[in-house]
Structure 1
Amino acid sequence: MQTYSLSTPGLWTGLEDWPHRACVDAVVAAMQAERYSAKSIYQFVQSARRFAAWRGETTGDAPLAYDDTDRSLAHRRATAVVPNGQRKALARLREAMVQAGVLSLPPVVSGPADDILQQFEASLVRRGYKPKSVGSYIWFARPFLQELWDGETELTAGAVLAYIERNAGQRSTTTVRIMCSRIRVLLRFLHAEGQIGADLAAAIPSARGDRSAGLPSYLAPDQVEAVLVSCDRDTVAGRRDHAVLMLLARLGLRAAEVALLTLDDVDWRAGVLRVIGKGGRVAQMPLPSDVGEALAVYIRRDRPASASRTIFHRVETPCGPFTTSTPVILIARRALRRAGVRGSVRGASHVFRHSLATHLIRSGASLNEIGQVLRHQEPDTARIYAKVDVAGLRSLSLAWPGGAR
């Protein structure tokens, strides 16, 4: 059985005096810190050695070029099979060389659309938009400008409407509504900056969907408990997932709020959790004993040593901290599947928030109290949960004419 040791004879051949050996060492150190397997690190060094040898044979002492790694892969493909993982390994090496300043990024060729996008992004930042929101605006603005904007031809209402119609067909109502709102803001920006003569925002039709039109998805209390029990707490991943799900189910936190919790957000003595919600709003929430116990077990037993203060980390390599809501959503989705929850449950992580609100209103809590627990900014946001209080609604119903008295 092959062993993967960095001291294996011949592994570093050709790298000892390579001018960029420090970059290889930096990647190895980073992979070790992120708990990559010995095999993965060994294969990275092999790939770096092959790249150094190719450079020596084909370009000699010529300065490094950004596409050298791509050219070496193309050469390898033409002469032999590319080993699994070599593309990723060379991408790591190239990134390290860029960070070390020995390799420059290729110049960006920008056109009219790129220039406007930069100005639009700067405008959003100045107005206080959060990075995630800015990214959403740019995501929808980029294809719109690339298709319709050349810096000279005047935009028309017809062209804008045709673009919306072409791109709305295969998207959900929610996505179309977001796309329309983002492009309206872009069009107002273009008009304010004098790039277009008329404010074309009104040319975009409303794609409104009444969020209170349907019933919220929710789980029954026994389903919530089944999801929590489904976590295998004999494993690192199971204990982490259990702590994540407890925060979702018991406190009704949003996925991003759970993902970005830090060690500094927990006041163990006071039994209080600080939550940074939408718009950067900070709230103090009581920390139930069972939630605190789940958090403490994970932090003490399983959380990897890390320079980051973020509580939750990946279990598989790279063992870095959560940076977005995606890992929390995936944890919730897997847990629902394990517990056998099927049907029309939408929003894998958000369904726990809806379930908590539903349980509260059926237990007699007022809409105002629910809004406080869920930290709604608008008081009317909690109105949707009134529709799941079937007993309360039945008491308000009128008797059917001619029916039982």
Structure 2
Amino acid sequence: MKWQAALKDYKTYLKIERGLSENSIESYALDILKLIQYLKANNIEISPVNINTETVQRCVYETAKQLNARSQSRFISGLRSFFSYLVFEDYRETNPVDLIESPKIGRKLPDTLSEEEIDNLIKAIDLSKPEGERNRAMLETLYGCGLRVSELINLKLSDLFFEEGFIKVTGKGDKQRFVPIVNATQKYINIYIKHIRNHQKIQSGFEDTLFLNRRGRQLTRAMVFTIIKNLAKAIDLKKNVSPHTFRHSFATHLLENDADLRSIQLMLGHESITTTEIYVHLDKSHLTKVIEEFHPRNH
């Protein structure tokens, strides 16, 4: 993966998934461009996938000389966000910025929805419209199976193994995994297929695609994002919600209910458990509860 390609993908993510303004996106991009310029100036040829903490730290040290504390913090935060994106997308296993100290205290963690908030979002779907049943089935699948949005829109009818209780998911690098699917999620998918999808005119090449738009073609990532944003607006939800929020919530709720990290890793399709551990940081109170309940020194 080359730097410019990674930066382009990252900017698309900031626009579509995070819903940031053009000014904010360019501000984030500027931080990455500073790192790229540093590498060029020092004749360092290394990809965003392989760059290590030491190299990033040298860049931060050299660049920080020209910045005040607030700007230093902003620069480090921008780099951390970029590499966090690469980790979440499974291009990297670790974030090289995590061990770099910043003047800023703490960092913004991704928003997670409560079970009640997820219920309210789904209840806000207008089921009187044909796309209502599709949208309900999609959100139930996003949350119930912890899918990436790209995995959701690429689901096929031939990927559904309801009798066995699984769906086949094609993730990053075309790697496939089987994810358990509960009866409630199966029910909503079946309702959508029987009452909506079976009556659609389906375009050539999309006969096996599960979730279709009104033109009988595959949905786009942007469309799923827009659907969720509109539902959040309808219930006046003040959190920054995207398709990935459902994936975060899936992992966090499993963790809160004492699922082990290795099982969550397998369901999310993470190459490394290091990636899955990012989700642990979302709920420190759960870790405290585990120590209090299970550590022998606490009894």
What's the CA shift for 1:341? 1.4
**Residue deviations 1:251-309 (CA, integer Å, cap 9, x gap):** 11111111111222112433321111112110111222111121112122212231212
Following the alignment from structure 1 to structure 2, what is the Cα–Cα distance between the partners of residues 135 and 335? Answer: 34
Structure 1 alignment gaps of length 5 or more: 1-128, 141-167, 188-197, 398-405
**Residue deviations 1:48-84 (CA, integer Å, cap 9, x gap):** xxxxxxxxxxxxxxxxxxxxxxxxxxxxxxxxxxxxx
Following the alignment from structure 1 to structure 2, what is the Cα–Cα distance between the partners of residues 286 and 394? Answer: 27
Match of 2:134 in 1: 240
What's the CA shift for 1:170? 6.0
Give the letter aligned to residue 321 of structure 1.
Answer: R
Structure with greater Cα Rg: 1
Instruction: Using CA pairs under 8 Å that are at least 6 residues apart, name the structure with larger relative contact order, 1 or 2.
Output: 2
Following the alignment from structure 1 to structure 2, what is the Cα–Cα distance between the partners of residues 169 and 311? Answer: 35
Matching residue within 282, 285, 288 for 1:390: 285
Following the alignment from structure 2 to structure 1, what is the Cα–Cα distance between the partners of residues 44 and 3? Answer: 21
Matching residue within 190, 195, 208 for 1:296: 190
Structure 2 alignment gaps of length 5 or more: 10-22, 47-54, 61-75, 85-97, 99-106, 293-299
Give the letter aligned to residue 340 of structure 1.
Answer: D
1:260 matches 2:154: yes
Between Structure 1 and Structure 2, how many residues are aligned? Answer: 225
Following the alignment from structure 1 to structure 2, what is the Cα–Cα distance between the partners of residues 321 and 179? Answer: 37
What's the CA shift for 1:214? 3.6
Match of 2:26 in 1: 171
Q: Compared with structure 1, are the counterparts of its residues 179 and 241 closer, same or farther at alpha carbon in structure 2 (3 Å cutoff)?
A: farther
What's the CA shift for 1:181? 7.8
**Residue deviations 1:12-39 (CA, integer Å, cap 9, x gap):** xxxxxxxxxxxxxxxxxxxxxxxxxxxx
TM-score (norm 2): 0.63
What's the CA shift for 1:239? 0.7
What's the CA shift for 1:351? 0.7
TM-score (norm 1): 0.48
Q: Compared with structure 1, are the counterparts of its residues 277 and 296 closer, same or farther at alpha carbon in structure 2 (3 Å cutoff)?
A: same
Following the alignment from structure 2 to structure 1, what is the Cα–Cα distance between the partners of residues 38 and 170? Answer: 29
Match of 2:230 in 1: 334
1:209 matches 2:80: yes
What's the CA shift for 1:200? 6.4
Give the letter aligned to residue 171 of structure 1.
Answer: E
SS in 2 for 1:171: helix
**Residue deviations 1:199-241 (CA, integer Å, cap 9, x gap):** 5668994663164744331011111111111112222111111
Mapped contact 1:273–1:284 kept (Cα < 8 A): yes
Give the RMSD, CA atoms, in angstroms.
3.6
1:366 matches 2:260: yes
